[in-house]
Structure 1
Amino acid sequence: MSFYFIAKKILGTLLIPPLVYWLPIVLGLILQRRWKRLGQTLTWSGVVLGLFLCTPATVQLITAPLENHPPIDEPDARRAQAIVILGGGQRRANPEYDGKPTVNRLTLERVRFGAQLARMTGLPILVSGGAPTGTTPEAELMGRVLTVDFRQPPQWVEAGSLDTSENAENSAAMLRGFKIQRIALVTHAAHMRRAVEEFRAQGLEVIPAPMGFMGDGTLGEEFFDYLPNNTSAYTGWYAMHEWLGIGVQKIRFAFR
């Protein structure tokens, strides 16, 4: 695990919920004893930011611009030469599976949609995802789920990548050996914007196949649908994670 990867994870922890709003709240409460106005400003800034990042209407404002690729249709899907599914994490403690690791919710959603595309098009699948903590690589877990649960075994298993840029680099290197240039890329809609740029930077033609849209602009009809809730809080976390990733990506590309 590289210093860059560790530093990126630490930075991400500090700049996305919940610490991005808890830190100014705690710091503000501490500073109020000596600098009352500054402390109050920091505290209330954290409170407002926290509400912004868990209220449905405001969360949609930061999520919708990320999801700038429409759902894939069948003619576009059939133009691809292969389907690439990106990992999104794993669950390591699963007593219902004899304690063995398996894919988490995000990865399962991606695998399910990738399997659907494979059934529709007959295209081969590449799964991509490593093991940052030294456990079973995500790609291997994805391959098991595709084979056992969806009857769509992958043709390629890229198990060495730790982030989206390595997903792209390692997958492109693997596919070049089979003269594959055009892919249907499967990941969550909010992640697609960043993922497409990484894969295109590796010289691949990318047909986005986004799924799991979170910022579709629709709100419920009941009053309670407009109040902060766990779903919008999760979406706010995910959106902040992606915006931070895009910022880091732009800096990386600028220094290439």
Structure 2
Amino acid sequence: MFILKKTLSLLILPPLGPLILIAIGLLLSRKRPRAGKMLAWGGLILALALITPVSVRLLLDDLEAHPPLQVASLEHADVIVILGGGARSYAPEFGGSTVNRLTLERIRYGARLARQSGLPVMVTGGAASGEVPEGTLMKAALEEDFRVPVRWAETRSRDTRENADLCAGILLPAGLRRIALVTHAAHMRRSVEAFEHAGFEVIPAPTAFFRDRSQGRDKEGFLELPDMNGAYAGWYAIHEWIGLLVYRLSR
């Protein structure tokens, strides 16, 4: 099921998803010109929408719903839990593999919160067979690069649901139920659902917001052109909406 889910995600997510629609449309255009053209144009419009800032912001509206954490809220937490976001397998300058940029953004913010609060830290993230688990890489980065000790490192989870369930197996028996959850702002909605379902009381600690909601910035007009930042945010947003849909269908 895990491999099937990852394969389907690759086929649906941009850039491959819109390209598949365009290809199917072109293949159909000889026998069914109208349907073929509709599919091809639909794929092209979808590809443009997913890299254009104004449309990407609409996709992010309900995902980045949690505001930045107020540090005073950490007084109510027992643990800081940082979710893994992937690894970089080829990092010769680090002697092998290390955390990728997504995970680095998360552990940087988690380290900041740990220093501000003095709370213990847990990291969570597994790996494909034969690779170094994300949790191991996160622990090394936090302790060696940020000088923040990690009390628990969960290293078997493969997705957000498993992050939550396996963390619950470690923390809940110890009476640690209230967690400050660190992940990307766009990933927080799905993460909160998973961790609350696993039995936690979650204090969201989002980082790396894509949307700038500061005065004036969020109302930039329709004249904005597609760019690589919009493409990255669009891919991330679609990834999260697919994840939320899977949660709904699997309940």
Range class of TM-score, shorter chain: over 0.9
Residue 222 of structure 1: how far off its partner (Å)? 10
Aligned partners of 1:26 and 1:252: how far apart in 2? Answer: 31
Alpha-carbon contact 1:60-1:216 (below 8 Å) kept:
no
Aligned partners of 1:221 and 1:166: how far apart in 2? Answer: 39
Task: Tell me: CA distance 1:179–1:144, structure 2 relative to 1, closer, same or farther (3 Å).
Answer: same
Residue 85 of structure 1: how far off its partner (Å)? 0.1
1:55-113 Cα distance to aligned partner (Å, 9 max, x none): 00000000121011111111112210000000000000112223x00000000000000
Q: Between Structure 1 and Structure 2, how many residues are aligned? A: 248
1:15-64 Cα distance to aligned partner (Å, 9 max, x none): 21112210110111111122111111111000000010000000000012
Partner of 1:149: 145
Q: TM-score, structure 1 length as denominator?
A: 0.93
Alpha-carbon contact 1:175-1:181 (below 8 Å) kept:
yes
Aligned partners of 2:220 and 2:237: how far apart in 1? Answer: 24
Partner of 2:236: 238
Aligned partners of 2:198 and 2:51: how far apart in 1? Answer: 36
Aligned partners of 1:250 and 1:33: how far apart in 2? Answer: 39
Greater mean alpha carbon deviation, residues 35-44 or residues 46-55: 35-44
Partner of 1:55: 52
Does residue 192 (structure 1) correspond to residue 185 (structure 2)? The answer is no
In structure 2, give the amino acid aligned to 1:137: P
Aligned partners of 1:50 and 1:143: how far apart in 2? Answer: 38
Alpha-carbon contact 1:27-1:43 (below 8 Å) kept:
yes
| Identical-pair percentage | 50
Q: Runs of 5+ in structure 1 lacking a partner?
A: none
In structure 2, give the amino acid aligned to 1:229: D
From 114, 117, 126, the equivalent of 1:118 is: 114
Secondary structure, counterpart of 1:65 in structure 2: coil
Aligned partners of 1:82 and 1:127: how far apart in 2? Answer: 10
Partner of 2:85: 88
Aligned partners of 1:9 and 1:221: how far apart in 2? Answer: 35
Partner of 2:21: 24
Partner of 1:36: 33
